[in-house]
Structure 1
Amino acid sequence: MDSRFEGKVALVTGAGGFVGGATARMLAGEGARVIYTDLREVPPIPEVEEKGGRFVCHNVAEEAAWVALIEQVSRDYGQLDLVTNIAAICNTVSLPDDTVENWRITHQVNAESVFLSAKHALPLLEQSGGGAIINVSSIAAMRGSPLTPAYAASKAAVMSLTQSIAVHCADAGNSVRCNSVHPGAIDPPMFRQGLDAETRMQLTAEFRETHGRWMCQPEDIARSILFLGSDDACHINGVALPVDNSATASLPY
């Protein structure tokens, strides 16, 4: 088994989700001590706990929570080598039915959290000798989305912010890299959350019929995160990486 993260400390948000959980497990499997977080308590991940990792209940949308989290990581581990921003929300609301409240909370959780992460984690990453920030965006950042306009716009903000962070770090010469991963259709897709059972079943069937060959598993996204966060990608900075089996490269017909 690879051990690209032996001796390193990694932070994973959104660990209660499919991608976050897979990422935390894979990082631990390659030697990292992983602090995995979510807004609500999640069942312990044995592979992570055995390697000296731990769970922290954490609201990514609150600056005070970020300050406290980074202070805890510094106090308990003395270093930070990788930050993976995975926590996100997605409500299926078309533009005419959308609300200012949904727009604001979606951007707060999905995009503002990435800003807060970089602002407060960068000093510890620098003190640790450099590292990486990996932000999970979406192919919705690159294409219009009539069902999830707030989500798509927030993920586009993540893509742009990632580039700004990367350029800042390169100019500062602090050996911190920042890249974004853009998943395509993930099975089960995030946007089915919040729908009633009948609608969810219908949408799932239609989704698989339409996007079947483009569907990926959470582990596919996690492997991309680990690559970009490792020394294998030491000269990759500011890149937006689609993980979608050619979905964004394909014509819409």
Structure 2
Amino acid sequence: NLEYIESIKSYFDVNEFNIIINCAAYTKVDKAEENQKQANLINHTAVKELATIAKTKNIKLIHISTDFVFNGLNKKPYTENDATSPLNIYGETKLAGEQAVMSISKSNSLIIRTGWLYSEFGNNFVKTILNLAKKNDALDIVSDQFGTPTYAYDLAFFILYIITTDKFLENNKSSEILHYSNEGKSSWYDFAKEIIGISKMSCQLNPIGAKDYPLAAKRPNYSILSSKKVSEEYDVSIKHWKEALKICLKNL
């Protein structure tokens, strides 16, 4: 449990690892606005401890971060070199976690930013839409915020692949940031429409603006990540988000 900082160190004192892959995070974006202390504890303080352990024990660290470190003002997909400027507490704490990794575990860390994650498991947009569509004849869905839906299975497969590469295993000189998402562009409305269409459900979807669906935390209007670096440097083929979604829905 990353909320108990002392337990993190003691766990690694009695267990040996070659690689730490940190997928844990406080991801309740709206609740983070009022639970800033807890969000910071999990997304920053605990990550700082993991980075310190990785450095001390010379363990490789892979840390998963988010598209929400950006402000959404770009007109083209964000690259790893674009300036960060989060709009909400969640994004701020995730960025602080990134900075801790980069400053402490300088020579053996990898940060992977992703966004709009979903899968067959847990709570996510796909499962929420399916559940709501069963109970409602119509749903209002935000149509002016854009990102790329990313199948968690594809991200996990990429991580498992990357830890076998010489490029990752032999890099002892610097930390690195990579962007990984499925290919393509989508709004939340487009995403929901595809979910309903593939699932052959009859629920009507109505596109609305983000201003008509107020939330506690401000979201970036555009948070598409460029995976060009991953494709070129690691020779990885990345699915279009619609193709990945079909696979996920088939497995549900």
**What's the TM-score once normalised by structure 1's chain length?**
0.53
Q: Is the 8 A contact 1:179 1:237 kept in 2?
A: no
Aligned partners of 1:181, 1:70: CA distance in 2, in Å?
Answer: 23
Q: Which amino acid aligns with 1:143?
A: N
Q: 1:243 offset after TM fit, Å?
A: 1.2
Cα 1:224–1:157, aligned 2, differ >3 Å: closer, same or farther? Answer: farther
Aligned partners of 1:86, 1:116: CA distance in 2, in Å?
Answer: 15
Aligned partners of 1:208, 1:72: CA distance in 2, in Å?
Answer: 49
Equivalent residue runs for 1:80-95 within 5 Å: 80-93=17-30
The structure where helix makes up a greater share of residues is 1
Structure 1: state its 5+ residue gaps: 1-58, 74-78, 171-176
Of 61, 69, 91, the match for 1:133: 61
1:226 maps onto 2:160 in alignment? yes
Determine what percentage of the aligned residue pairs are the same residue.
16
Q: Is the 8 A contact 2:51 2:104 kept in 1?
A: yes
Q: Does the residue aligned with 1:222 lie in a helix, a strand or coil?
A: helix
Q: Does the residue aligned with 2:46 lie in a helix, a strand or coil?
A: helix
Aligned partners of 1:143, 1:216: CA distance in 2, in Å?
Answer: 19
Counterpart position of 1:107: 40
The alignment yields a C-alpha RMSD, in angstroms, of 4.1
Equivalent residue runs for 1:14-93 within 5 Å: 59-73=1-15, 79-93=16-30
Which has the greater radius of gyration?
2
Aligned partners of 1:162, 1:118: CA distance in 2, in Å?
Answer: 5
4+ runs deviating over 4 angstroms: 188-192, 207-212
Structure 2: state its 5+ residue gaps: 74-85, 185-223, 228-252
Counterpart position of 1:155: 94
Aligned partners of 1:221, 1:215: CA distance in 2, in Å?
Answer: 11
Cα 1:209–1:141, aligned 2, differ >3 Å: closer, same or farther? Answer: closer
Q: 1:198 offset after TM fit, Å?
A: 5.3
Q: Which has the higher contact order (CA 8 A, sep 6+)?
A: 2
Q: 1:190 offset after TM fit, Å?
A: 6.2
Q: 1:70 offset after TM fit, Å?
A: 0.8
Q: 1:112 offset after TM fit, Å?
A: 1.0
1:142 maps onto 2:70 in alignment? yes
Q: Does the residue aligned with 1:117 lie in a helix, a strand or coil?
A: helix
Question: What is the count of residue pairs matched by the alignment?
Answer: 166
Aligned partners of 1:243, 1:160: CA distance in 2, in Å?
Answer: 19
**What's the TM-score once normalised by structure 2's chain length?**
0.53
Aligned partners of 1:242, 1:164: CA distance in 2, in Å?
Answer: 19
Aligned partners of 2:118, 2:3: CA distance in 1, in Å?
Answer: 26
